[in-house]
Amino acid sequence: MKYDVVIIGSGLGGLQCAYILSREGYNVCLAEKNPQLGGCLQTFKRNNSLFDTGMHYIGSMDKGQVLDNFFRYFRLSGRLNLRRMDENGYEIIQYGEREYKLAMGYERFVETLLSSFPKEKEALSQYIHKLKEISNSVDLYNMRDFSGQKTGYLDYYSVGINDYLDAITTNKTLKNVLLGTSPLYAGVKNRTPLYIPMIIHSSYIESAYRFVDGGSQISDLLAGYITEYGGTIMKNARVTKLLFDNQSLKAVEINNSERIEGKYFISNIHPKSMFDLFDNAPLRPAYHKRINSLEDTFGIFSLYLSMKENAFEYINSNYYVFKTDDIWDGDNYTQENWPKGYMMHISPTSKSDKYTDAIIINTYMNWDEVRPWEKTVVGRRGESYKAFKHQKAEKLLDLLEKDFPGIRSKTAAYYTSTPLTYRDYTGTYKGSIYGLMKDFNNPLKTMIMPRTKVPNFLLTGQNINIHGVIGVTIGSVLTCAELIGTENLLTKLRNA
Ligand SMILES: Cc1cc2nc3c(=O)[nH]c(=O)nc-3n(C[C@H](O)[C@H](O)[C@H](O)COP(=O)(O)OP(=O)(O)OC[C@H]3O[C@@H](n4cnc5c(N)ncnc54)[C@H](O)[C@@H]3O)c2cc1C
């Protein structure tokens, strides 16, 4: 059978493209290598606790806010079980032995930080002004026509967040507090464009929500709608080859055997992993070379704590904890001083309003640490790998115990993952957390467009546009607009 569109990978981007195109009348086939859909939206259960693997919280979901506007079209608004986070401090930045709260709402954000930084009113006002300016500059973020290729936001893509903050304040602590969520965008001091943290922050400052019982709600709902619109979803269907014919892509090969033909194809997988699937692709070597030369964002070690029943009170804020003066320094560690900090996510559960049964701790881990097992697969990495993870988990738990005394005794069991786990579950290159790194020194080189030189082959997902729920959603719209037209799609979005 020949489909109108074949989509490779069911991450948020793949699912959203399958949703848009099947809703708009295309005959779509979505091929996912895993038994569970969703990529970073996947959840897993251990010891009766449910853990998210990637998506922990989402922003701007109040009625009429940016993500809510998009999610109305995706039939997700009002259908997700969400918990609104603490308005007075949905993020807590622990830096230099003190805690600083990042509050929801522009005015409350400024007022809250002013209590710790009374002389920094001007800097904080400038910061908020810039947040608004940047989010207003992105046409699609505001559902404005972007087909004229307006590039207002490019100005913010060629400036670094670090340089920008240096320009508005000389207060080192305030600067580090404003950079406190840098793990959320895999920040790198002299690389990260101002645009990325500002778009992400502007989404959360409007409103921040956690998923009750996991982010896979999104993939479950989208998969149901795709099927309802007549789309085909194939699980356990690893695309093993992309079969080109002269100037176009003709078919994909699934699990080294079945061929699925299509008129158009969309890849939702990491571009470097995609190149491994090419069979005589009519793409210039320069394209491969450019993308292969790009660096990836860092990898992480995750510790999943299954908590004893009614033992650990739910905290409605994320913790970003730094044990170093320089918050840019997290991935520059030795065996002795690892970890230099961590991010702590406390999961809400429908089992209890007062207690949590699942806590996730993420911290930096360089690929070199797991390189000895790079040729192994999940569940078969051997005893040395288990010992390595155990030693890391114990070290991280020791640190946690100092910050949250008693957390060890309230933990029933723990589980771990490394960059190898992410590589094998999501196919992301070397387990990088958010795929390719964006770099303000060379913005055009690190910006990946949905369109490729092969006319019937498009890209989507976190490597085009930016990562995260808002970045990937905008990316999906950009990709699908190539097929169904910008104004047409925008009208549908606005009217949803
Ligand atoms: C630890 C972590 C925490 C995060 N926290 C947040 C958060 O709190 N809020 C937020 O907004 N964002 C967060 N993100 C980012 C967000 O989850 C991702 O940016 C987004 O989900 C990526 O979507 P994607 O469409 O690029 O696809 P991915 O999630 O990368 O999925 C790609 C899919 O393709 C499949 N695939 C790969 N190769 C093949 C193949 N050959 N054949 C078939 N299928 C294949 C994979 O199995 C996978 O399902 C987090 C990410 C991580 C890793």
Which DSSP string do the residues of 136-196 spell out, in sequence order?
HH-TGGGT---TT---TTHHHHSSBHHHHHHHH---HHHHHHHTTTGGGTT--TTT-BTHH
* Residue 148 pLDDT: 56
* Residue 284 pLDDT: 79
Mean pLDDT in runs of 10 for the chain (496 residues)? Answer: 95 98 98 98 97 96 96 98 98 96 98 98 98 91 72 83 98 97 96 96 97 98 98 98 92 97 98 88 83 94 98 98 93 94 98 98 97 96 98 98 97 98 93 95 91 95 94 96 94 95
* Residue 1 pLDDT: 77
Say whether both 71 and 194 belong to one domain: no
Measured in angstroms, how far is the CA atom of residue 401 from the centroid of ligand 1?
Answer: 30
Residue 436 near ligand 1, beta carbon < 6 Å: no
Q: Considering only CA atoms, which residue is closest to atom 34 of ligand 1?
A: 9
Reduced to 3 states, what is the DSSP secondary structure of residue 17? helix
Domain stop point among 174, 207, 240: 207
Predicted TM-score (pTM) of the model is: 0.97
Strand partners, 241: 253
* Residue 151 pLDDT: 61
Residue 280 sits in a domain whose CATH number is: 3.50.50.60
**Mutate-to-test residue for ligand 1 from 207, 269, 479, highest number of ligand atoms within 8 A of CB:** 269
* Residue 166 pLDDT: 98
Query: Quick check: is 316 in a domain?
Result: yes
Residue 469 near ligand 1, beta carbon < 6 Å: yes
Look at the chain and report how many structural domains it folds into.
3
* 7-33 pLDDT, tens digit each: 999 999 999 999 999 999 999 999 999
Amino acid at 142: N
* 321-360 pLDDT, tens digit each: 999 999 998 889 999 999 999 999 999 999 999 999 999 9
Query: Quick check: is 66 in a domain?
Result: yes
Phi and psi of 288, rounded to 5°? -60, -45
Q: Considering only CA atoms, which residue is closest to atom 41 of ligand 1?
A: 239
* Residue 288 pLDDT: 86
Q: Please tell me the distance from the alpha carbon of residue 101 to that of residue 111, in angstroms, as a whole number.
A: 11
| Planar angle of CA 208, 357, 219, nearest 5 degrees | 55
Say whether both 347 and 377 belong to one domain: yes
Residue 462 near ligand 1, beta carbon < 6 Å: yes
Residue 428 near ligand 1, beta carbon < 6 Å: yes
Say whether both 123 and 243 belong to one domain: no
* Residue 452 pLDDT: 94
State what percent of residues in the chain have pLDDT above 90: 90
Query: Quick check: is 196 in a domain?
Result: yes
* Residue 144 pLDDT: 84
How crowded is the C-beta side of 112, counted as CA atoms within 13 Å? 22
Domain stop point among 172, 207, 242: 207
Q: CB within 8 A of 380, min separation 6: which ones?
A: none
Query: Quick check: is 154 in a domain?
Result: yes
* 38-75 pLDDT, tens digit each: 999 999 999 999 999 999 999 999 999 999 999 999 99
Looking only at the bridges linking them, the beta strands covering 299-307 and 358-365 are antiparallel
Say whether both 304 and 415 belong to one domain: yes
Residue 412 burial (C-beta neighbours within 10 Å; 0-12, 13-18, 19+): middle
Reduced to 3 states, what is the DSSP secondary structure of residue 105? coil
Measured in angstroms, how far is the CA atom of residue 229 from the centroid of ligand 1?
Answer: 24
Q: CB within 8 A of 242, min separation 6: which ones?
A: 8, 249, 252, 253, 265, 274, 277, 278, 279, 281, 457
376 lies in which domain range?
Answer: 298-431
* Residue 152 pLDDT: 66
